[in-house]
Amino acid sequence: MGYTLNFNLIWRHFDKLSGGLLLSLELAVISIAIGIVIGLVLAVWYVSAGRVVRGVIAAYVEFIRNVPLILLVYLVFYGLPTVVDIAYSAQTSFVATLALYSGAYLVEVFRSGLEAVPRGQIDAGKAIGLTPWQRLIHVRLPTMMRITLPALSNTFISLFKDTSVASVISVPELTYGAQWINFNTFRIVEVYLVVTAMYLLTGYALLFALRLVERWYRTAR
């Protein structure tokens, strides 16, 4: 094997990767932000709803969780516009898809967190005369957050990595940038080594930041 690593071509096109990483982060942040809203609203609704609503929410969660993300991306980007008369960019399409996708996972995270809030705390909230809404805001959600933060961090990291799927519909995020460099330089080993390192470092940085948030949340007063 006479392959010698040569990173020069990678550095020459590094803007594709740095710009790609920024877009990956942007996609993740926007999708997760929307996903958090979907997840919180549906989780709170779920734990207090009757069977019909629970069934609908569970169906949404099960559907999303049992269909590969890449298929959902195709469905929303290629499928939907052929059936209904709407047009959107690949990027918007992906954000919408990942938001729905993360929403489904976050419903589960938040729901199990809400259900794990000790009965006694809710009783204590009732006993001092808090209304159901006040109990939700001041007792159940803060406790849920402490319970779910570790699981939430893992979900966020995982969703960040899922942004790489956007490359299949040519959204120029990090993985797409890697493919572009690969096609134009044939430096497949070098480019994927660099990109792997970039995902790894970003993932670790996110995890570290989220652990700080967890620690802050545990000791905040």
Partner 1 sequence: MATSSNDRPALLDIAEVSKSFGPVEVLRSVSLQVAKGEVVTIIGPSGSGKTTLLRCVNFLESYDSGSIRIDGKEVGFRDGGARQRRSERDLAAMRAETGMVFQGFNLFPHLTAAGNIMLGLAKVRGKSKTEARSIAEHWLGRVGLAHKADSLPAELSGGQQQRVGIARAVAMEPKILLLDEITSALDPELVGEVLAVVKSLAEDGMTMVMVTHEIAFARDASSRIVFMADGGVSAVGPPKEVLAAETTNERLRTFLARFRASQF
DSSP 168-220: GGT--SHHHHHHHHHHHH--HHHHHHHHHHHHHHHHHHHHHHHHHHHHHHHH-
Helix, strand, coil abundance in the chain, percent, nearest 5: 85, 0, 15
Residue 51 sits in the site that holds partner 1 (CB under 8 A): no
Radius of gyration of the chain measured on its C-alpha atoms? 21
Residue 218: C-alpha distances to residues 9, 89, 142, 147, 148 (Å)? 47, 41, 11, 10, 12
Residue 150 sits in the site that holds partner 1 (CB under 8 A): no
Nearer to partner 1 by Cβ, of 135 and 187: the residue is 135
Residue 211 sits in the site that holds partner 1 (CB under 8 A): no
Region 101-120 residues binding partner 1, contact defined as CB under 8 A: 118, 120
Nearer to partner 1 by Cβ, of 15 and 115: the residue is 115
Judged by CB under 8 A, the residue of 146, 168, 193, 214 near partner 1 is: 146
Residue 79 sits in the site that holds partner 1 (CB under 8 A): no
Residue 142 sits in the site that holds partner 1 (CB under 8 A): yes
Q: Which residues bind partner 1 (CB under 8 A)?
A: 118, 120-121, 123-132, 134, 138-139, 142-143, 145-146, 219-221
